Amino acid sequence: MMSKILLIYTGGTIGMMQDSKTGALKPFDFRFLTKEVPELQRLNIKLETASFKKPIDSSNMHPKIWVELINIIEKNYAKYDGFVILHGSDTMSYTASALSFMLENLAKPVILTGSQLPIGIIRTDGKENLITAIEIAAAQKNGKPIVPEVAIYFEYELYRGNRTLKYNSAHFDAFKSPNYPVLAEAGVNIVYKENYIQKASTKKIQIHKELDNDIAVIHLFPGISKKITSSILNTPGIKAVVLQTFGSGNAPTEKWFIDELKAAIDRGTIVYNVTQCLEGRVIQGKYETSSELQKIGVIGGDDITIEAAITKLMFVLGKKLPLEKTRKLLQQNLRGEISV
Ligand code: ASP
């Protein structure tokens, strides 16, 4: 049977045009995009489209817009075999991570893609990304989708969405998944690495829409000041902080620093330790410079990306669970975002 795919356009370079006055790239009407890719009609796939009324540059992405996106998926979940989301590359990893947490028990592909050059430009990377992403969303084996997870397809590679980061703003090859293998490579054929792809859930899909953004990120650097650290940790209403540490989760051992963190944790603030390194993981207690963090109750983020850590916090805090349960969920692998 022909797969039925819903293509959702949120904005991003792929559908942008140059403003005739300023020369700046801005989101354009979705009809322009399908007109530019007549090949879409030749795919043996039933393709239908939905678009944000006001497409955005993904730098304007917001948890409220993730809920809008989730509402479109929820409304159409039973009607389609898979979803392709066209999205700006700048915050695509955040959106992919957020969607992975918001969609529990997923059994259908949700593939995000975009491009570095608008689709109307001759050298665009958008056509290949779009066509292959649709093929991946539609791909089935024995009547079942091959990639029933939230993934990003970009420049011949498919990645688990919550493992990615945008690392290059100039090359077509814009994403990396430093701590998890690619899920598929698109050459002459699309080769799926089935061992690494999540299995479709047999449980009923559960959709989560409560996200809490009362969080902050403290990116450590040599010389970080007490004044600023303290002011972030004492922000009224703050519920969690991602502490971006050195190496395998290390931080200064200065007394003021540990005291500030301990006081925050004692007040019930979550401190989530995520390394600044792209590869490797947080191992609290490996060095003296992380033992104290472990002792005062900082939660180790293992090999989670900063994008997944932020969205996981929003998702877990949104559940409004007792503190101990919240802390426990953060340490668990919920959607393949950490390698435990
Ligand atoms: N600024 C654009 C966006 O993220 C870049 C892109 O689409 O690649 O919306």
**pLDDT single digits (tens) 185-218:** 999 999 999 999 999 999 999 999 999 999 999 9
Ligand 1, atom 3: closest residue by C-alpha: 88
Which domain CATH number covers 41? 3.40.50.1170
Pocket test for ligand 1, best of 9, 59, 112 (most atoms within 8 A of CB): 59
**Which residues of the chain are modeled with pLDDT < 70?**
32
Are 240 and 162 contained in the same domain?
no
Q: Is 13 a catalytic residue?
A: yes
Counted domains in the chain = 2
Neighbour count for residue 207 (Cβ, 10 Å): 15
Look at the pTM and tell me if it is higher than 0.85: yes
CB of 126 closer than 6 A to ligand 1? no
Are 17 and 147 contained in the same domain?
yes
Query: Of all atoms in ligand 1, which is nearest to the CA of residue 115?
Result: 8
Are 81 and 219 contained in the same domain?
no
The answer to the question of residue 255 being in a domain is yes
Q: Which of 10, 13, 91, 95 is catalytic?
A: 13
Pocket test for ligand 1, best of 10, 25, 65, 90 (most atoms within 8 A of CB): 90
Output the six-digit token pair for 212.
Answer: 């809490």
Are 200 and 243 contained in the same domain?
no
Are 168 and 262 contained in the same domain?
no
- Give me ligand 1 centre to Cα 330, in Å: 30
What pLDDT is attached to residue 27? 75
What pLDDT is attached to residue 170? 92
What pLDDT is attached to residue 82? 98
The answer to the question of residue 336 being in a domain is no
- H or E element that contains 28: none
Are 151 and 258 contained in the same domain?
no
Are 16 and 87 contained in the same domain?
yes
The answer to the question of residue 287 being in a domain is yes
Are 132 and 190 contained in the same domain?
yes
Q: Rounded CA gap, 321 and 227, in Å? A: 31
The answer to the question of residue 316 being in a domain is yes
CB–CB of 127/39 below 8 Å?
yes
Are 30 and 113 contained in the same domain?
yes
Maximal CA-CA distance, the chain: 66
> Of the residues 174, 190, 207, which one is the last residue of a structural domain?
207
What pLDDT is attached to residue 177? 98
Are 251 and 133 contained in the same domain?
no
What pLDDT is attached to residue 222? 98
> Of the residues 207, 228, 263, which one is the last residue of a structural domain?
207
Are 9 and 133 contained in the same domain?
yes
What pLDDT is attached to residue 36? 78
Pairing of strands 190-192, 206-207: unpaired
- Give me ligand 1 centre to Cα 283, in Å: 34
Q: Which amino acid is at 60?
A: N
The answer to the question of residue 337 being in a domain is no
What is the domain extent for residue 148?
A: 3-207
Which domain CATH number covers 274? 3.40.50.40
Q: Which residue has the tokens 């899920």?
A: 183
Cβ contacts of 325 within 8 Å, gap of 6 or more: none
Are 50 and 135 contained in the same domain?
yes
